[in-house]
C-alpha cells in the first residue's frame, strides 16, 4: 500500500508542477489584461478564506517536514519514501495555492482542479487511516499490510484537510453564483426586496451561520443600509409577537403577576429548544475536567517506548467535546437573542397600545421613553440570562460529581458548603442591588422627563435666558442619579470581589479537608479539581450578574405591569342614530379629570339639562378664559372621565380640531389625508376652502413639503389651517372645533368661517368654541360657559335680548374693542366695498417657508462610517483622572493572574512526587498565593467603579452643556427623540456597561497570552468588522424613530382616537419596531458568525497542543507542567469566546460613546457673557432701538429674509408690527434677541451694539411673551419665577393684574398649586396669562408681545391690554399682532412686506391713506365685526 501511495504522491507532484508551468506559458502569451478589475471583487469577497487555505496547506507541510526530521533523528538517518514524497507534494501544493491566489483564483474565483483533487484525496486517505486505526485499537483486529497505517501527522492533518475540502467546495459553489451576478456591482442599484434568509436556511447553514454570507459580501462592497438587510423571521415580527403576548395576557386577565407568566407562556417553545442547547453546552463543558485526570495519568505513566494510541484517542475525544460545546453555545446564545428580539417587539407594542388608549391626563413622555429605552431593553436582554437560573445548580452538581470521583465524599461536601456559604453571603448584597437599582430608575425617569420638557421649550428658555437655571436643575437631578449609581457600582464591586475570591475559598477549603483527612493528592486529581474549580468559576462569576439582572428585570417588569394596569380609556363608541337627524345628545351629567386627591367635589364640567344637536346645526361655545369651553368639547368626545349622569352620545363619525395644534411629522399631504384615500379634486378644494392653497404654492415642494417635529417650522396659523383641512377632508358627520380662528388673522378667519363652516359644512353638525364673538350670530345654538357650567343656552337673538345675561356682558366688551378701532368718526373705510383680498393673507406670526426654513427632505440621522475612531476610545479611557488609574487596574489584573497561575502550578508541582513538601507548607503557600490574588481583584473592582462613575459624569456634562449652548437651528433640525436617545439609552450604556466590557476585554487579553489566538482573529475580523460595525450603528439610529413616533402619538392621542386612526398608527409602530428588530437580529447573528469560526480554530489549536504533548518523549517535558498546560488549554475556547464577545461588544457599545461625543461638539451660540463688553446694570434705560440696514439669512445657501431694514423705535413708545406671512416679522424679533445672527447691518439698544455683548446680558434685559404659551411641570410659583428672585407679595400682585389670582386661590395650595407637564391642567388662555404675568414680574424696559392674547376672550383681552398699558408706561413695547384692536392705539405701526419696510407711521396717519396696507386691514376687521346679517345671507 505504501508503494502505491508513493506513486500517487509523485503523480500529484508532477501534475501540480505541470499545471504551474503551463499556466505561466499561457499567461506570457495572453497577458493578464482583464485581471485588475476582476481581482478587486474576488479579493473583497474571498480574502479571508484564501488566507485560511494557504495557512492550512503551510501547516500540513510543516508537520510533514517536522516528521521527516523526527524520523531521521530517531531512525538513525533512515527516512521513509512515503514521508518524503508526501512532504514534497504538500510543499508544492502550498506554493501553488499562493500562486493561484494571486492569479487564477482572482480571475475565476476558484482553486485549480488539480489542487482540489489533491485535497479531496488527502482528506479521504486521512479519514480512512484514522477509521482503520480506531477499529484495530478497539477490536484488536490484525489487518493485512495492504491497509495504510496511521501516523501522528495524519492525526494532526485530518482536521486541516477537512477545512481545505470545505473551502474547495465553497469556491466551486461561488463560481456558479458569480455566473449569475454581474462582476462589478453598482453601488446605487435598487435594493432587492429582502426576504427572510434565516428561515429558508438549512441545518448546516444555521449551525455555521452561513446564511449571513450574502450580507457580509454586500457589506464589503458598499455601506450597508436598511433596505439591504433581510427581514426577521415571521415569529419575531412585531405583529405576531404582539398577538401571542396579547392572547397570553387575556388568559390571565392582568392579575398581579400575570405579565411575567404571560411572557413565559408566549415564548415557552423557543425557550425549551434554547434550554436543550444550554444543557448540551453545560454537559460538554464538563467532559474536559472529567477526563483531565486520565490524560495527566497517561502522561505520568508514559515511557519513551510506550504507544501513543491511548493519548491520541483522549485528544480526539477532547476535540469532539470542545466542538460540541462551541456549536451548542453559539446556538444557545443566538437563540436567546432571538427570543429577546421577540419579547422586545411584543412589549413595545403593548406599551404603545396602552399609551394611546390611556386617559387624557396620561403618563409623561419621559416615563414612556424610559419604559421603552431601558425597561423593555432590559427584559429583552434577560432572555440571555434566564437559563442561568437552572444551569447554576446543574453546573454545581456536575462539579461536585467530578470532585467526588477524584477526591471522595468529605472534600466534595466541603466544596459544596463553601460554595453555598459564598452564595448566602451574597443575599444581602443582592437585595441592596435591587433597592439601589430601583432608585437609579426613578432618578433616571425624573431626569429624562425634565430633559424632554426642556428640549420642547428650548426656544422659550433661550428667549428668557433661562438655560443656565434649567441646566442647573437638570444637573441636580443627574447628581441624585449619580449618588445612587455610585452606591450601586460599589455594591457591584463587593459582589465581584466575593465571587472572584470564591474559587480560591472553595479550593483552599477542599484541599485543606483532603490534607486533614490524609486523602492522597496526585497531580491528576489536583489538576482535575483545579479545572473543575475553574469551570465552576464561570457560573459563580456569572451569579452576581445573574442576580443583578434578575433584580433589574423584576424592577422593569413591575414598572411595565404597573403602567399597563392603569385604567383603560373607555372609548365612546359611535352610536347608530335612530332618528337620523339627531347627531349629538348631551345628557345631564358631571365630568372631572382624575386627580390624586380623594375629594372630587368640584367637577370640571357640569351639564344640567339635556341638549340635542341636529344634523346641519351650528353650535357656538363661548365663555371667558378657563371657564371650561375646551373641557365641554372633550367631554363630548369622551376624553374626560364621567363621574355621574348618562354622558354624551355622538352618532356617526367625528372630526376634532384641538386648540393646541397637533401636527405629525411627515408631509403636508399626509397630515391632511390622515390615512384616507387621495381624491385629487376634493383634496384641492379642501386646501382652497382652508386657505392653504396660497401657502402650498409658495413652498418649494408644495404639499410634499416635510413638516418638522410638532410642526415647529410652521406658523401657528398654518398649523391651525392644516388641522382644519384634516378634519374637513375626513368628511365626518360631527365636527368639534376648539377655537380654530384664534391663530389666524382677521381676513383668513372670515374666509375659514364662511367657506368651511357655513358653506362646505352646512349639512354637518358643527360645535365650535370661539373667542371671536362676531362668529356667534351665525350659530343655530349658543352655549355660554361660566365656571364649568352652561350658564346660558339658546339662540343668539334670544340671549342677546336679555340685558342681564352673561352673553350681553361679554358682547359689551367686544363692542368696546370694536368702537376703539372705529373711533375715526367718518372713516370711509367702513362703507367702502370689500376690496379684493389677494393681498390679504395678512397677519400670521411666523415666516413663510420660502425663506428656506422648511425643506422637502426629511433628514435621516447622520451616523459615522468606518471603524470607531481611536479618538473615541482614548477620550473614553482618559476622561477620568486623565487615565491615571488605567495602568493601576491593568497591574492589579496582571498580579491577580500571575498569583492565580502561580498557586495552581505550586499545587501541581508539589503533588507530583510524594513528600516533595510538607502538607502544612503546601497549604500555607497555596492559601497565601490565593489570598494575594483575591486582594488584587478587590483593588481592580474598586478602581474600575471609580473610573466608571467619573467617566460617565464627564461625558454627560460634555454632551448636556454642548446641547444647551447649541443655537436654536440645531433644535429645529434635530428631533428631540435623537437627543433623548443619547440621554437615556446611550448614557445608561456608559453608566453601567462600557467600563466593564472594556475592562473585561483587557483582562481576557491578559489571560490569553497565546499569540496564535490573536493571529487567527485578524483574518476573520477583516471580513466581519465592516458589516458588524455598520449594523451596530444602525441599531442606535433605528431606535430614535420609534421614540419619536411614540412621543408624537401620545401628544395626539385624543386626535387619533377621534379620527379612529389608532390602528393605522399601531401598524406604523409595528413597521418601525420591525426595522429595529431586523437590524438588532442581524447584529447579534454577526457576532455568532465570527465566534463559530474562531471557536473552531481554537479547538483545532487545542487539539494540536494535546497531540504534541502526547507525542513528545517523557523526558522532554515535565508532566505536571504539561498537565497544567492542558488544564489551561481546556479554558481556551471559553476565554477566547469571552475575548471575541467582548471585542464585538466593546466596539458596538463604544458606538454609544461615539454618539454622545457627536453631541459634545455642536457649534455653539455666541458667549453668554463677554467680560470686556458688559453693559451697565441699569441698561437699557431709555429703551430706544435703532435698526441700521439689517440683513438676515438663516443659512448662506438660502435667500435673504430681511433686506436692509432701517428704522428707529423711540424709547417708551408702543410699536405694532404687522405684515403678511413671510414678511419677516418673526425674523425681526429673532434678530433682536440674537436667536438668529445678522448677516449685515447692526441693531443698537440705547446706543449699545447688541452683537458686541454676551447673549445672557442681552436676553435677560429684554422681555417677550411668545405666541405658544409654555409652562413647565412644577408649581405656579416655579412657573412665574423660575429664577426665584421675587417675593410672594410680588407674585400675587402680578396674578391680580393678569386676572389669575381668583383662579389660583381656588386651590388650597395657592402658589404651590401643581402645574402638569406642558401645563395640561390649565387652559391655553390661562397659560398665556401666566406667561404675561412672568413678563410683568420682570419689569424690563423693552417688552415684545408675539400675539400674546390670541387664546383669550375679548373681555379679558381688553383688561389685559389696559394692564399692559398701565404697567409698561415708559417702556418700549413691540407688538406682533393679528387683532387690529391690539395695535390700533399704538404710537407707531411698522408694516413689513417681503423683508422690507412698506409703511412706518402712526396708525391714524396710515388709516387716512385709504390705499395703505394698514387701512385695508382695519377695513377688513370692521367689516367682519359689524353686526350685520351677512353670515346668514351666505349660509
Strand order in the sheet with 1388-1393: 1262-1265, 1342-1346, 1372-1376, 1214-1219, 1388-1393, 1396-1401
Q: How many CB atoms lie within 10 A of CB 1344?
A: 24
Q: What is the CA radius of gyration of the chain?
A: 40
- CA dist 1385 and 327 (Å) reads 84
Is residue 558's pLDDT more than 50? yes
Residues 887-905 have a mean pLDDT of 80
Question: What pLDDT score does 613 carry?
Answer: 86
| pLDDT of amino acid 815 | 65
Residues with Cβ < 8 Å from 298, sequence gap 6 or more? 310, 311, 314, 1110
**What integer is the mean pLDDT of 996-1023?**
51
Contact at 8 Å (CB) between 196 and 232? yes
pLDDT of residue 600: 46
Identify the pLDDT of residue 1010: 39
- Specify the pLDDT at position 276: 92
Q: Which residues contact 87 (CB under 8 A, 6 or more apart)?
A: 61, 64, 65, 67, 68
The span from the CA of 532 to the CA of 541, in Å, is 14
pTM strictly above 0.85: no
The answer to whether 1301 touches 1276, Cβ cutoff 8 Å, is: no
pLDDT band at 575 (very low <50, low <70, confident <90, very high): low
Residue 1103: in which H helix or E strand, if any? helix 1062-1111
The residue-averaged pLDDT of 1288-1298 equals 83
- For the cut 50, the answer to whether the pLDDT of residue 912 exceeds it is yes
Among 1130, 1057, 987, 1098, CA closest to 451: 987
Residue 924 has pLDDT above 50, yes or no: yes
pLDDT score for 1192: 87
- pLDDT beyond 70 at 828: no
**Whole-number Cα distances in Å, 686 to 680, 755, 761:** 10, 10, 11
User: Which of the given ranges, 273-277, 636-640, 987-991, 1104-1108, has the highest pLDDT on average?
Assistant: 273-277
Burial class for 128, CB neighbours closer than 10 Å (0-12, 13-18, 19+): middle
- Residue 501, pLDDT > 80, answer no
Taking 50 as the threshold, does the pLDDT of residue 957 lie above it?
A: yes
Task: Kindly state the average pLDDT of the residues 1084-1092.
Answer: 84
Residues facing residue 1219 across a β-bridge = 1392
Cis-peptide, bond into residue 589, ω within 30° of zero = no
Sign of the CA dihedral 1202, 1206, 1211, 1212?
negative
Q: What angle do CA 718, 721, 725 make, to 5 degrees?
A: 135
Query: Which of the four pLDDT bands, split at 50, 70 and 90, describes residue 1406?
Result: confident
pLDDT in tens, 1143-1153: 666 666 777 77
pLDDT confidence of residue 926: 81
For the cut 60, the answer to whether the pLDDT of residue 179 exceeds it is no
Mean pLDDT of 922-929: 82
Element (H, E) at 644: strand 642-645
Q: What is the pLDDT of residues 1033-1067, one digit of tens each?
A: 788 778 878 888 888 888 888 888 888 888 888 99
Helices 2-30 and 113-139, packing angle to 10 deg: 160
Distance CA 896, CA 1004 (A): 12
Q: Tell me the C-alpha distance between 865 and 867, whole Å.
A: 7
- For residue 60, pLDDT over 50 is answered with yes
How confident is the model at residue 1435, as a pLDDT?
39
Residue 1396 predicted with pLDDT over 80:
yes
Pick from 87-101, 293-307, 1213-1227, 1368-1382: least confident: 293-307
Above 80 in pLDDT, residue 1349? Answer: no
Dump pLDDT digits (tens) for 281-337: 988 888 888 888 788 778 777 766 666 778 788 888 888 888 898 889 889 989 998
Residue 619 pLDDT > 50:
yes
Model confidence over 1184-1230: pLDDT tens digits?
Answer: 888 888 888 877 777 788 888 888 888 888 888 887 666 778 888 88
Tell me if 396 sits within 8 A of 540, measured CB to CB: no
More confident residue, 516 or 1068: 1068
Segment 145-155, tens digit of pLDDT = 555 666 777 77
Say yes or no to pLDDT of 1398 above 70.
yes
Is pLDDT of 880 > 80? no
- Residues 768 and 757: their CA atoms lie apart, in Å, by 9
Angle, CA of 320, 325 and 328, to the nearest 5° = 120
Taking only the tens place, the pLDDT of each residue in 357-378 is 775 555 666 677 788 878 888 8
Supply the mean pLDDT for the chain: 76
Confidence of residue 942 (pLDDT cuts 50, 70, 90): confident
* Cα separation values, 1174 from 1233, 1258, 1261, 1395, Å: 16, 9, 12, 31
Instruction: Mark out the alpha helices in 286-376 (DSSP H runs).
Output: 287-301, 309-357, 365-370
Mean pLDDT is highest, among 67-81, 101-115, 728-742, 1263-1277, for 728-742
Integer Cα distance of 1094 and 1021 in angstroms: 10
- Band of pLDDT at residue 1014, cut at 50, 70 and 90: very low
How confident is the model at residue 39, as a pLDDT? 35
Dihedral sign for Cα 174, 180, 185, 191, please.
Answer: negative
Residue 834 has what pLDDT? Answer: 34
CA nearest to 1132, candidates 1012, 1022, 1019, 1021: 1012
Q: What is the pLDDT of residue 850?
A: 40
Asked if the model's pLDDT at residue 534 lies above 80, the reply is no
Length of the chain: 1435
Amino acid at each position: 500500500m505504501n508503494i502505491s501511495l508513493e506513486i500517487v504522491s509523485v503523480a500529484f507532484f508532477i501534475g501540480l508542477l505541470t499545471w504551474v508551468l503551463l499556466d505561466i506559458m499561457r499567461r506570457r502569451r495572453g497577458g493578464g489584461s482583464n485581471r485588475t478589475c476582476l481581482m478587486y471583487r474576488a479579493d473583497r469577497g474571498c480574502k479571508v478564506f484564501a488566507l485560511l487555505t494557504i495557512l492550512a496547506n503551510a501547516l500540513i507541510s510543516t508537520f510533514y517536514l517536522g516528521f521527516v526530521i523526527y524520523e531521521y533523528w530517531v531512525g538513525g538517518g533512515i527516512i521513509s519514501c512515503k514521508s518524503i514524497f508526501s512532504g514534497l507534494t504538500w510543499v508544492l501544493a502550498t506554493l501553488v495555492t499562493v500562486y493561484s491566489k494571486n492569479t487564477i483564483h482572482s480571475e475565476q474565483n476558484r482553486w485549480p482542479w488539480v489542487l482540489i483533487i489533491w485535497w479531496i484525496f488527502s482528506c479521504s486517505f486521512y479519514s480512512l487511516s484514522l477509521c482503520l486505526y480506531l477499529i484495530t485499537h478497539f477490536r484488536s483486529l490484525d489487518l493485512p499490510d495492504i491497509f495504510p497505517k496511521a501516523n501522528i501527522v495524519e492525526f494532526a492533518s485530518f482536521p486541516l484537510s477537512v477545512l481545505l475540502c470545505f473551502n474547495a467546495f465553497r469556491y466551486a459553489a461561488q463560481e456558479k453564483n458569480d455566473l449569475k451576478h454581474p462582476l462589478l456591482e453598482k453601488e446605487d442599484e435598487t435594493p432587492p426586496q429582502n426576504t427572510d434568509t434565516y428561515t429558508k436556511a438549512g441545518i448546516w447553514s444555521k449551525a455555521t451561520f452561513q446564511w449571513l454570507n450574502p450580507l457580509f459580501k454586500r457589506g464589503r462592497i458598499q455601506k450597508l443600509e436598511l433596505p439591504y438587510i433581510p427581514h426577521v423571521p415571521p415569529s419575531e415580527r412585531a405583529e405576531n409577537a404582539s398577538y401571542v403576548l396579547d392572547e397570553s395576557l387575556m388568559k390571565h386577565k392582568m392579575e398581579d403577576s400575570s405579565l411575567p407568566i404571560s411572557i413565559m407562556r408566549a415564548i415557552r417553545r423557543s425557550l425549551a429548544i434554547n434550554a436543550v442547547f444550554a444543557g448540551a453546552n453545560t454537559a460538554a463543558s464538563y467532559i474536559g475536567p472529567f477526563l483531565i485526570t486520565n490524560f495527566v495519568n497517561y502522561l505520568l505513566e508514559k515511557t519513551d517506548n510506550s504507544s501513543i494510541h491511548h493519548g491520541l484517542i483522549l485528544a480526539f475525544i477532547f476535540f469532539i467535546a470542545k466542538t460540541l460545546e462551541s456549536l451548542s453555545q453559539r446556538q444557545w446564545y443566538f437563540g436567546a437573542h432571538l427570543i429577546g428580539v421577540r419579547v422586545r417587539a411584543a412589549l413595545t407594542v403593548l406599551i404603545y397600545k396602552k399609551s394611546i388608549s390611556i386617559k387624557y391626563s396620561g403618563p409623561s413622555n419621559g416615563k414612556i421613553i424610559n419604559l421603552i429605552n431601558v425597561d423593555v431593553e432590559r427584559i429583552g436582554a434577560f432572555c440571555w440570562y434566564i437559563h442561568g437560573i437552572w444551569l447554576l445548580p446543574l453546573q454545581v452538581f456536575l462539579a461536585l460529581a467530578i470532585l467526588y470521583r477524584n477526591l471522595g465524599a468529605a472534600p466534595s461536601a466541603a466544596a459544596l458548603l463553601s460554595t453555598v456559604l459564598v452564595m448566602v453571603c451574597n443575599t444581602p448584597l443582592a437585595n441592596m442591588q435591587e433597592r439601589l437599582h430601583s432608585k437609579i430608575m426613578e432618578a433616571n425617569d425624573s431626569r429624562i422627563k425634565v430633559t424632554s420638557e426642556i428640549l420642547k421649550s428650548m426656544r422659550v428658555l433661550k428667549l428668557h435666558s433661562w438655560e443656565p437655571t434649567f441646566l442647573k436643575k437638570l444637573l441636580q437631578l443627574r447628581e441624585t442619579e449619580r449618588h445612587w449609581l455610585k452606591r450601586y457600582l460599589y455594591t457591584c464591586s463587593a459582589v465581584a470581589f466575593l465571587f472572584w475570591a470564591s474559587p480560591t475559598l472553595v479550593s483552599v477549603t477542599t484541599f485543606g479537608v483532603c490534607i486533614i483527612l490524609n486523602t492522597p493528592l496526585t497531580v491528576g486529581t489536583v489538576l482535575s479539581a483545579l479545572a473543575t474549580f475553574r469551570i465552576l468559576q464561570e457560573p459563580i462569576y456569572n451569579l452576581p450578574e445573574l442576580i443583578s439582572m434578575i433584580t433589574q428585570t423584576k424592577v422593569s417588569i413591575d414598572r411595565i405591569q404597573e403602567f399597563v394596569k392603569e385604567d383603560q380609556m373607555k372609548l365612546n363608541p359611535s352610536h347608530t342614530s335612530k332618528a337620523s337627524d339627531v347627531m349629538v345628545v348631551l345628557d345631564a351629567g358631571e365630568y372631572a379629570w382624575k386627580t390624586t386627591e380623594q375629594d372630587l367635589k368640584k367637577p370640571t364640567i357640569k351639564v344640567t339639562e339635556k341638549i340635542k344637536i341636529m344634523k346641519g346645526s351650528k353650535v357656538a361655545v363661548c365663555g371667558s378664559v378657563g371657564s371650561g369651553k375646551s373641557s365641554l368639547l372633550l367631554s363630548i368626545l369622551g376624553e374626560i372621565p364621567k363621574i355621574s349622569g348618562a354622558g354624551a352620545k355622538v352618532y356617526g363619525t367625528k372630526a376634532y380640531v384641538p386648540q393646541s395644534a397637533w401636527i405629525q411629522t411627515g408631509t403636508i399631504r399626509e397630515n391632511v389625508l390622515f390615512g384616507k384615500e387621495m381624491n385629487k379634486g376634493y383634496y384641492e378644494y379642501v386646501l382652497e376652502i382652508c386657505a392653504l392653497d396660497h401657502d402650498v404654492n409658495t413652498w418649494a415642494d408644495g404639499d410634499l413639503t416635510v413638516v418638522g417635529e410638532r410642526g415647529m417650522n410652521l406658523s401657528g396659523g398654518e398649523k391651525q389651517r392644516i388641522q382644519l383641512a384634516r378634519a374637513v377632508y375626513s368628511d365626518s358627520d360631527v365636527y368639534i372645533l376648539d377655537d380654530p380662528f384664534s391663530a389666524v388673522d382677521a381676513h383668513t378667519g372670515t374666509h375659514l368661517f364662511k367657506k368651511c363652516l357655513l358653506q362646505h359644512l352646512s349639512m354637518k353638525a358643527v360645535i365650535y368654541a370661539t373667542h371671536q364673538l362676531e362668529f356667534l350670530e351665525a350659530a343655530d345654538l349658543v352655549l355660554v360657559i361660566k365656571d364649568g357650567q352652561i350658564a346660558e343656552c339658546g339662540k343668539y337673538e334670544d340671549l342677546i335680548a336679555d340685558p342681564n345675561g352673561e352673553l350681553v356682558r361679554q358682547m359689551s366688551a367686544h363692542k368696546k374693542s370694536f368702537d376703539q378701532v372705529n373711533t375715526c368718526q367718518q372713516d370711509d373705510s367702513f362703507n367702502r366695498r370689500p376690496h379684493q383680498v389677494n393681498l390679504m393673507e395678512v397677519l400670521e406670526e411666523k415666516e413663510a417657508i420660502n425663506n428656506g426654513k422648511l425643506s422637502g427632505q426629511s433628514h435621516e440621522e447622520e451616523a459615522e462610517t468606518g471603524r470607531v475612531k481611536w479618538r473615541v476610545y482614548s477620550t473614553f479611557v482618559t476622561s477620568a483622572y486623565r487615565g491615571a488609574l488605567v495602568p493601576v487596574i491593568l497591574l492589579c489584573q496582571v498580579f491577580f493572574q500571575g498569583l492565580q497561575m502561580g498557586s495552581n502550578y505550586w499545587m501541581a508541582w508539589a503533588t507530583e512526587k510524594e513528600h516533595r513538601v510538607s502538607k502544612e507548607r503546601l497549604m500555607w503557600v497555596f492559601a497565601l498565593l490565593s489570598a494575594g490574588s483575591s486582594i488584587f481583584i478587590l483593588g481592580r473592582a474598586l478602581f474600575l467603579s471609580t473610573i466608571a462613575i467619573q467617566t460617565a459624569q464627564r461625558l454627560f456634562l460634555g454632551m448636556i452643556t454642548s446641547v444647551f449652548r447649541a443655537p436654536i437651528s440645531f433644535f429645529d433640525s434635530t428631533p428631540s427623540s435623537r437627543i433623548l436617545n443619547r440621554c437615556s439609552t446611550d448614557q445608561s450604556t456608559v453608566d453601567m456597561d462600557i467600563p466593564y466590557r472594556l475592562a473585561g476585554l483587557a483582562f481576557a487579553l491578559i489571560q490569553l497570552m497565546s499569540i496564535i489566538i490573536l493571529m487567527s482573529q485578524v483574518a476573520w475580523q477583516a471580513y466581519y468588522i465592516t458589516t458588524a460595525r455598520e449594523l451596530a450603528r444602525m441599531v442606535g439610529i433605528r431606535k430614535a424613530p420609534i421614540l419619536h413616533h411614540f412621543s408624537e402619538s401620545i401628544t395626539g392621542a385624543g386626535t387619533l382616537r377621534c379620527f379612529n386612526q389608532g390602528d393605522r398608527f399601531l401598524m406604523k409602530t409595528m413597521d418601525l419596531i420591525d426595522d429595529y428588530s431586523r437590524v438588532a437580529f442581524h447584529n447579534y447573528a454577526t457576532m455568532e458568525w465570527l465566534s463559530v469560526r474562531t471557536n473552531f480554530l481554537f479547538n483545532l489549536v487545542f487539539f494540536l497542543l494535546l497531540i504534541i504533548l502526547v507525542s513528545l518523549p517523557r523526558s522532554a517535558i515535565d508532566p505536571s507542567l504539561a498537565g497544567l498546560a492542558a488544564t489551561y488549554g481546556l479554558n481556551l475556547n471559553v476565554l477566547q469566546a469571552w475575548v471575541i464577545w467582548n471585542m464585538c461588544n466593546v466596539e458596538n457599545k463604544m458606538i454609544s460613546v461615539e454618539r454622545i461625543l457627536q453631541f459634545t461638539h455642536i457649534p455653539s451660540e455666541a458667549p453668554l457673557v463677554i467680560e470686556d463688553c458688559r453693559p451697565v446694570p441699569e441698561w437699557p434705560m431709555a429703551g430706544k432701538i435703532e435698526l441700521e440696514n439689517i440683513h438676515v439669512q438663516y443659512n448662506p445657501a438660502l435667500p435673504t429674509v430681511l433686506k436692509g431694514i432701517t428704522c428707529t423705535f423711540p424709547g417708551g413708545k408702543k410699536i405694532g408690527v404687522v405684515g403678511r406671512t413671510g414678511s419677516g416679522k418673526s425674523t425681526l424679533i429673532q434678530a433682536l434677541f440674537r436667536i438668529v445672527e445678522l448677516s449685515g447691518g447692526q441693531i443698537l439698544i440705547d446706543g449699545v451694539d447688541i452683537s458686541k455683548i454676551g447673549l445672557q446680558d442681552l436676553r435677560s434685559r429684554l422681555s417677550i411673551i411668545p405666541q405658544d404659551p409654555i409652562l413647565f411641570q412644577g408649581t405656579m410659583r416655579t412657573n412665574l419665577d423660575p429664577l426665584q428672585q421675587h417675593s410672594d407679595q410680588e407674585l400675587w400682585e402680578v396674578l391680580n393684574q393678569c386676572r389669575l389670582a381668583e383662579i389660583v386661590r381656588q386651590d388650597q395650595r395657592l402658589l404651590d398649586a401643581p402645574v402638569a407637564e406642558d401645563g395640561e391642567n390649565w387652559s391655553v388662555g390661562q397659560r398665556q396669562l401666566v406667561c404675561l404675568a412672568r413678563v410683568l414680574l420682570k419689569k424690563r424696559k423693552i417688552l415684545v408681545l408675539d400675539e400674546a392674547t390670541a387664546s383669550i376672550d375679548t373681555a379679558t383681552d381688553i383688561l389685559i391690554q389696559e394692564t399692559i398699558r398701565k404697567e409698561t408706561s415708559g417702556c418700549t413695547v413691540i407688538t406682533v399682532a393679528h387683532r387690529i384692536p391690539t395695535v390700533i392705539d399704538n404710537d407707531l405701526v411698522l408694516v413689513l412686506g417681503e423683508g422690507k419696510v412698506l409703511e412706518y407711521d402712526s396708525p391714524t396717519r396710515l388709516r387716512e391713506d385709504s390705499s395703505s396696507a394698514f387701512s385695508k386691514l382695519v377695513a377688513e376687521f370692521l367689516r367682519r365685526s359689524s353686526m350685520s346679517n351677512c353670515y346668514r345671507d351666505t349660509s
